[in-house]
């Protein structure tokens, strides 16, 4: 792979992983915004509406992950990520300008659709663009961008919360900042080509080969193109999966392992800290400013842990 092809591949990786950065930033920013948003002169949130505003993003993310995968198969990975960047931008401004809880909940749900769509499409897009020896590294870097986005959210929350503590609507600035990486995602994805695998599946074989030659040496691009063609043809012959397939012992075992990993990941309470860290610290005796600053440590530890895991996975 020559320098031009290597730079092109790095551009694709950085551009797509802005989706992961948005994922992290938009899930983490509510942590610092809640204490200010909940005030009586702002949205006057009760414990119930605090939970609604926070959790409805996750509901939207579930629908987004479910729906956007099919849409990406129909319209293309790049095009869907571009549309998601616009949705990120629109929903970020909507939450920042929301006059009441109802409007806030609607735009938080839309933001969740974008978060879920990005979580499903960005890793798939990266995997389809990366050469096999770099595939794991490129997809894992998206995870680093997610926790990096959360860390940035905590940092900016602390900066704004400390310097503008007497400004009641400071939470609006916190939420509006989410629009910046959305614009960066949109602008960077304009320079990125479509996935060769998707192009091949739609019969655009010459375009798929051209894209591969932009990021691979010619001989390797042609060999990989033939592999993609064979895989796409094989996929068309596969029968649609059903619940009956889980009667196969090894497949059922994989399903149960996957469910177990997801449960263990959640029962640690990590999401409680992610979304309510500032509130928890306040209840523990910290002032709002001190809680916002201390919460940065949570984001920093996440970044360090993912970075270490990233390094160990390479060994």
SS3 assignment, position 229: helix
| pLDDT of 241 strictly over 70 | no
Cα–Cα distance, 130 to 72 (Å, whole number) = 18
Please check whether residue 177 is in contact with residue 50, taking contact to mean a CB–CB distance below 8 angstroms.
no
SS3 assignment, position 133: coil
What does the pLDDT read at residue 312? Answer: 64
| Residues 269-296, mean pLDDT to the nearest whole number | 88
pLDDT band at 168 (very low <50, low <70, confident <90, very high): confident
What does the pLDDT read at residue 153? Answer: 94
Put residue 135 in one of left, alpha, beta given phi > 0 → left and psi -120 to 50 → alpha: alpha
Q: Of 283, 36, 45, whose CA–CA distance to 173 is shortest?
A: 36
Put residue 193 in one of left, alpha, beta given phi > 0 → left and psi -120 to 50 → alpha: beta
Longest Cα pair distance anywhere in the chain, in angstroms?
66
| pLDDT of 310 strictly over 80 | no
Residues of the chain with CATH 1.20.1250.20: 3-192+261-313
Mean pLDDT of the chain: 88
Cα–Cα distance, 28 to 175 (Å, whole number) = 10
CB under 8 Å, gap of 24 or more: what pairs does 69-75 form?
Answer: 69/120, 69/121, 69/124, 72/120, 72/121, 72/124, 72/198, 73/198, 73/201
79 sits in which H/E element: helix 77-97
- Percentage, residues of the chain above pLDDT 90: 46
What does the pLDDT read at residue 290? Answer: 92
What does the pLDDT read at residue 140? Answer: 82
| pLDDT of 170 strictly over 70 | yes
| Residues 169-195, mean pLDDT to the nearest whole number | 92
What does the pLDDT read at residue 136? Answer: 79
The 10 Å Cβ neighbour count of residue 264 is: 9
| pLDDT of 307 strictly over 80 | yes
| pLDDT of 231 strictly over 60 | yes
Please check whether residue 51 is in contact with residue 104, taking contact to mean a CB–CB distance below 8 angstroms.
no
Give DSSP secondary structure letters for 98-119.
--SHHHHHHHHHHHHHHHHHHH
Q: Which residue has the higher pLDDT, 280 or 238?
A: 280
What does the pLDDT read at residue 102? Answer: 94
What does the pLDDT read at residue 239? Answer: 67
pLDDT band at 240 (very low <50, low <70, confident <90, very high): low
What does the pLDDT read at residue 134? Answer: 80
- The tens digit of pLDDT for each residue in 18-76 reads 888 998 998 899 999 998 999 989 999 999 999 999 999 999 999 999 888 888 888 99
SS3 assignment, position 226: helix
| pLDDT of 315 strictly over 60 | no
| Residues 282-297, mean pLDDT to the nearest whole number | 90
| pLDDT of 77 strictly over 70 | yes
Please give the CATH topology (third level) of the domain spanning 3-192+261-313: Growth Hormone; Chain: A; (1.20.1250)
Please check whether residue 159 is in contact with residue 35, taking contact to mean a CB–CB distance below 8 angstroms.
no
| pLDDT of 209 strictly over 60 | yes
- The tens digit of pLDDT for each residue in 100-146 reads 999 999 999 999 999 999 888 888 899 889 888 888 788 888 888 99
Cα–Cα distance, 10 to 232 (Å, whole number) = 26
What does the pLDDT read at residue 238? Answer: 65
């Amino acid at each position: 792979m020559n320098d031009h092809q290597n730079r092109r591949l790095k551009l694709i990786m950085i551009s797509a992983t802005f989706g992961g950065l948005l994922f992290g930033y938009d899930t983490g920013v509510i942590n610092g915004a809640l204490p200010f948003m909940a005030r009586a002169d702002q949205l006057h949130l009760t414990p119930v509406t605090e939970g609604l505003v926070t959790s409805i993003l996750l509901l939207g993310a579930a629908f987004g992950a479910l729906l956007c995968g099919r849409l990406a198969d129909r319209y293309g990975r790049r095009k869907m990520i571009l549309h998601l960047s616009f949705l990120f931008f629109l929903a970020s401004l909507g939450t920042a300008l929301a006059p009441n809880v109802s409007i806030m909940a609607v735009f938080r749900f839309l933001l969740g659709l974008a978060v879920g769509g990005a979580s499903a499409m960005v890793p798939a897009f990266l995997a389809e663009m990366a050469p096999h020896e770099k595939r794991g590294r490129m997809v894992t870097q998206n995870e680093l961008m997610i926790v990096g986005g959360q860390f940035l959210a905590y940092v900016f929350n602390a900066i704004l919360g400390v310097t503008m503590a007497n400004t009641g609507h400071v939470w609006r600035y916190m939420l509006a900042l989410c629009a910046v990486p959305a614009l960066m995602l949109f602008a960077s994805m304009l320079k990125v080509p479509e996935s060769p695998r998707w192009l091949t599946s739609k019969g655009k074989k010459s375009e798929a080969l051209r894209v591969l030659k932009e990021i691979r040496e010619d001989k390797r691009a042609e060999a990989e193109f033939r592999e993609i063609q064979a895989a796409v043809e094989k996929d068309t012959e596969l029968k649609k999966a059903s619940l009956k397939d889980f009667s196969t012992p090894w497949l059922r075992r994989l399903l149960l392992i996957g469910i177990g990993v997801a449960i263990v990941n959640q029962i640690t309470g990590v999401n409680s800290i992610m979304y309510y860290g500032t509130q928890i610290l306040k209840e523990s005796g910290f002032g709002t400013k001190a809680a916002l600053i201390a919460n940065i440590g949570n984001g920093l530890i996440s970044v360090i842990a993912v970075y270490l895991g990233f390094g160990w996975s390479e060994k």
